[in-house]
Amino acid sequence: MKQPVRVVAPIRLRDFNPSFHDGKEKESTREKTLHLCERINDLQQLLYANRSHSLIILLQGMDTSGKDGAAKRVLECVNPSGIETTDFKAPSTEELSHDFLWRIHKAVPRYGNIGVFNRSHYEDVLIVRVLNLQPPHVWNARYAQINAFEKLLTENNVVLLKFFLHISKAEQAERLQARLEDKTKKWKFETGDLKMRERWNQFQRAYEDALNRCNTSWAPWHIIPANHKWYRDFIIARTVVRTLEKLDLKWPKPKEDLSHIKIV
């Protein structure tokens, strides 16, 4: 089974093992993840000081794949004022009165900040497709529109990290059952989740098409094995660190000469 990598088409999800963890141990990996999270905090401060780039962490996956959990863990050390989070639910009446990318562009983080997209514009080629909310000629055209939109963002210094959190159907069943049995999670459970689960194979095909058709050099997909939450968080955190370090940002110089300043 393939390891989690910056993927190259053609992509078949059955080739990626959602339980893959590279032989790593849980506790030692959690320690490494914490160090990575601390490093993300340092790099976000550099990002904010320069305000020349922003970063989007885009999280897609089936229900219970861990989008909320991954965001919480990876950014736990970052100043909340430097994070902009958007959960893309069913579009509102106002949002439906615009093109499908309108609400996405509104949510792009300002320069200096990290944005988290819990679901994204990909819902318009996933759930819209699976539930037949639009005819094929409409959602089919959206792959090229998404690629153009993402290129626009990256050409304007918005770094886009797209993560597909890959879990197995059996793992999803366990997590849904856990929601039913835990009073702190039971409120999350919706019977509609079971209807989506019935369409598992349709969603897998829709995801494969999105991963293949929107896997570009400027905004590649990262397939993350997500059956083990601790490994999922480690891979995402490591990717975020490597991406921010590649920006090679330096602390900006003061806007005025401060050499004569003395605090008395």
CATH code at 235? 3.40.50.300
Residue 13 lies in a domain: no
* Interval 101-141: pLDDT, tens: 999 999 999 999 999 999 999 999 999 999 999 999 999 99
pLDDT attached to residue 214: 97
| pLDDT digits 0-9 by tens, 155-191 | 999 999 999 999 999 999 999 999 999 999 899 888 9
pTM (2 decimals)?
Answer: 0.94
- CA pair distance 215, 164, nearest whole angstrom: 12
In a domain, 118, yes or no: yes
Q: For residue 7, is it within any domain?
A: no
Alpha-carbon span 172 to 227, nearest angstrom: 9
| 254, part of any domain | no
Domain that holds residue 103: 18-246
Average pLDDT over residues 226-241: 98
In a domain, 48, yes or no: yes
Residue 260 lies in a domain: no
Quickly list DSSP for the chain.
-BPS-B--SS--GGGB-TT--TT--HHHHHHHHHHHHHHHHHHHHHHHHH-S-EEEEEEEESTTS-HHHHHHHHTTTS-GGGEEEEE--S--HHHHTS-TTHHHHHTPPPTT-EEEEES-GGGGGTHHHHTTSS-HHHHHHHHHHHHHHHHHHHHTTEEEEEEEEE--HHHHHHHHHHHHH-TTTGGG--HHHHHHHHTHHHHHHHHHHHHHHT--SSS-EEEEE-SSHHHHHHHHHHHHHHHHHHT---PPPPSS--TT----
**Any domain includes 256:** no
> For the segment 71-110, what is each residue's pLDDT rounded down to a tens digit?
999 999 999 999 999 999 999 999 999 999 999 999 999 9
Task: Tell me the average pLDDT of the chain.
Answer: 95
Instruction: Say if 2 falls within a structural domain.
Output: no
Please say whether the dihedral angle defined by the alpha carbons of residues 89, 177, 185 and 171, taken in this order, is positive or negative.
negative
- The domain total for the chain is 1
